[in-house]
Structure 1
Amino acid sequence: MFKLQENNTNAKREVIAGITTFLTMVYIVIVNPIILQDAGVPFDQVFTATIIATIIGTLWMGLFANYPIAIAPGMGLNAYFAYSVVGGNEEITYMTAFAAVFVSGIIFVALSLTPFRQKLIEAIPDNLKHGITAGIGLFIAFIGLRLSGLIADHPANLVTLGDLHSPEAILALVGLAVTIVLMVLNVNGALFIGMAVTGIIAYFTGQLAFTEGFVSTPSLPDGFIISNPITAIGDVVQHGLYAVVFSFLLVTIFDTTGTMVAVAQQAGLMKGKSMPRARQALLADSVATSFGAIFGTSPTSAYIESSTGVAAGGRTGLTAVTVAVLFGAAAFFGPLVGAISGLSSITAPALIIVGSLMMGAVAHIDWNRLDEAFPAFLIILSMPLTSSIATGIALGFISYPLLKIVKGQFREVHPLVYLFAVLFFYQLAYLPH
């Protein structure tokens, strides 16, 4: 089924690779509920939904696409969901926001079955793609700094240095130091180990207590968030969440496609410039996003942490299946994760470091061409300052074709980019955002 011999691997190596990938990305079951809790979603709901979406997407990837790539709710989009879509508009509840996630997932499923997905990816300028990645990285690092108390509100300049003498800030700094040292030393599972060490320190300093034990049966307090697809579509139309749906869709497509290609290249699974079974691989993410919204979590994405499993020898879907099984086991440790989620200093270092890794995309921006660099700069700058990924994307897509027209290079811009520019302009000018 997994063609182990054909891919020069064996079951033991694949299982070890799966364990390695799991350890590097299991932090998401802690971080994701913390972020979505700020949108009002019950912790148990997000915790269980995160694991369900991860299992569905990763199993699909392993069984149907036969790739050693894991799928889970993506960093950045969870922050956008909580702080921009829900937090930025009093009329939008998390129930309504999940309707937008569901609709974006359904559209992604449809695009995954057609050649339009490839045309969309090719139409978007590379510098805008890199700007989006870097902007999201800066945004989630900013969130990590605020959650940990390392920066605080300022009446004139919006933010300032926080109280570095507070127990929370000290714990976050210690956790950040431990985690970044492990990352620099290339220790597998550095983010997870860093959170574990920080949690142990918090426990012995009295900042962390396990009042409800460690193990319990998984639960979904709200049941199905999306029970009627027609109602979900109606919610999107009623609240004018078109830009939100497009932002979810755009970022998911770029993140997933880029990560899949990168991991497949690392594993030597690419056939020239094409990725075999790409349709099934993309369906893994789009199906997981749709089901994740039904149960109560933000959009999923392929995880770059899968590269650690590939480095450990993973070459087939058996690695992904192993990851899914381990996440299934993690579902029974809700009280443990719940206790940790009550102390942001434990998870803030992971947000800051993941943000720094995503900021690496700025190296690929052509800074010598202002017509290419400035739209990317606008995206990077505006995402954290407006607390909105959608606003950052909109400003980039509006400014890019305008600068190309001024420069007389309007023919270089794909018609789809002009279409997106008009839609984003309309959204910023006339719709709530």
Structure 2
Amino acid sequence: MERLFKLQELGTNMKTEVLAGLTTFLTMAYIIVVNPAILSAAGVPFNQVFVATILAAVIGTAVMAFSANYPIAIAPGMGMNAYFTSVVATQGLSYQIIFGAVFLAGILFLLLTFTKLRELIIESIPDSLKYGIASGIGLFIAFIGLRMSGIVVANKSNLVALGDFHEPVTILSIIGIFITLILNARKIKGSLFIGMLITAIIGYFMGLLHFDGIASVPPSIKFFDLDISGVFSHSLYTVVFAFLLVTIFDTTGTIIGVAEQADLIKDGKLPRAKSALTADAIATTIGSTLGTTPTTAYIESTSGVAAGGRTGLTALVVAILFLISLFLSPLVSAISGLPSITAPALIIVGSFMMEGLAKVNWRAFDEAFPTFAVILTMPLTGSIATGIAIGFITYPIIKLVSGKGKDVHPIIYIFGVIFLIQMAFFPNH
């Protein structure tokens, strides 16, 4: 294992990587329950999505582990599942047809991965935007943690407000935050995971954590017929493009954010980028044949990196835990059903991801504003892809009017135009 994943070379060890994998898995295990719940609203059988979600995560994360050696987990993305359900509802089409669109997007995704385009995208993004993407993701996941825990809630007059601090889940979340902060401040290894474990124990004695058994026999695994011809007969090209575009930039943005935090980007380039991107493309394509929406690199991987994960061994541990969860669905459901266990980790990891902002030249407006726009947009729109789009649009425009248009890579101009068209004519996609 040490030689395979180059643990010594990357300054880590097996214990750290295993703890990091456990931490990442626990912060993202909610997808095992949430994804089937969302897609079942579109008529897809719950058990089918349950198995598909886990297998897509296992395949994508295992490929990431062995081919790219990165501590990044892959699983069906939030947002795309809601979009899938809305397309089925608004278009009045069968979910088999929309899964056909997902499959075609996955194939295109895979073909693009074998070109230099996606690596070129990563390399063409200026450093200031890369730092902005990482920090924007940090605020995004911290905001998710705040909402999950009830520390902030929806408010009509001001969009968000402080929640009710008398709510048991909120109280437990605040306790979890302080426990984890103390452990981290004391520089205790595995502080995020230990914090989650202690919070879970407290939650159990508070009567908030309920177990309806530990293990169960998993549902049967089966492929179903995709209706690819229906995609063409109903001209669902914008749907395919939407799945493709969001998946590309969600994954690219997350990989950049996680890699930046783990100090894996060297001279503006990400080694083995093609392998990392291939993992997502394979998982998306196979996942669509099993019954789930496009996969993406998970922002919760940052929690594993914060716990010390630096190699594919972290990802392999996540993949193994996903596979085990096929047989432990009652246990996983109980843990993922109590936000107080994972929310503190997300909030604290959000702060870790602000580090790159110190490297941005805030006195140079043409660098500072696009970075600020990315950071601001991600948490407020709830979309990594939208934040990246805003950065790609504002950066070249400000550079052009500042007389520095030649400093911008042509790829940024091309995607800036694509994003402008997409936001103007397909804002809900």
State the 1:252 CA deviation.
1.3
Q: TM-score, length-normalised on structure 1?
A: 0.78
* Residue aligning to 1:60: 63
* Residue aligning to 1:381: 376
* Residue aligning to 1:404: 399
Amino acid at match of 2:199: T
C-alpha distance in 2 between matches for 1:288 and 1:106? 11
Q: TM-score, length-normalised on structure 2?
A: 0.78
Distance 1:339 1:320, change over 3 A: closer
* Residue aligning to 1:423: 418
* Residue aligning to 1:371: 366
Question: Structure 1: where are the runs of 5+ without partners?
Answer: none
CA RMSD of the aligned region, Å?
4.2
Q: Secondary structure at the match of 1:91?
A: helix
State the 1:214 CA deviation.
0.8
* Residue aligning to 1:178: 179
State the 1:94 CA deviation.
12
C-alpha distance in 2 between matches for 1:202 and 1:108? 42
* Residue aligning to 2:70: 69
State the 1:164 CA deviation.
0.7
Matches within 5 A, 1:3-402: 4=3, 16=15, 19-33=18-32, 36=35, 39-40=38-39, 48-63=51-66, 65=67, 68-73=69-74, 78-81=77-80, 91=90, 102=103, 105-210=106-211, 212-219=212-219, 227=226, 237-238=236-237, 240=239, 242-243=241-242, 245-256=244-255, 259=258, 279-295=274-290, 296=292, 299-301=295-297, 303=301, 305=304, 324-402=319-397
Amino acid at match of 2:255: T
State the 1:244 CA deviation.
5.0
C-alpha distance in 2 between matches for 1:23 and 1:37? 22
**Is the 8 Å Cα contact of residues 58 and 69 (structure 1) preserved in structure 2?**
no
Q: Deviations 1:128-187 (Å, cap 9, x if unpaired)?
A: 232223223222322221222111222211111111111121011112222233334444
Would you say how many aligned residue pairs link Structure 1 and Structure 2?
416
**Is the 8 Å Cα contact of residues 130 and 256 (structure 2) preserved in structure 1?**
no
C-alpha distance in 2 between matches for 1:230 and 1:382? 37
Question: Structure 2: where are the runs of 5+ without partners?
Answer: none
Amino acid at match of 1:128: L
The range that moved more, 179-188 or 366-375, is 179-188
Distance 1:235 1:68, change over 3 A: farther
Amino acid at match of 2:296: T
Distance 1:319 1:170, change over 3 A: closer
C-alpha distance in 2 between matches for 1:396 and 1:166? 38
C-alpha distance in 1 between matches for 2:224 and 2:202? 37
C-alpha distance in 2 between matches for 1:6 and 1:171? 37
Distance 1:194 1:69, change over 3 A: same
The range that moved more, 328-337 or 296-305, is 296-305
C-alpha distance in 2 between matches for 1:390 and 1:8? 32
Q: Deviations 1:97-137 (Å, cap 9, x if unpaired)?
A: 87776555434422332222332222222222322232232
Amino acid at match of 2:217: T
Amino acid at match of 1:227: L
C-alpha distance in 2 between matches for 1:86 and 1:142? 24
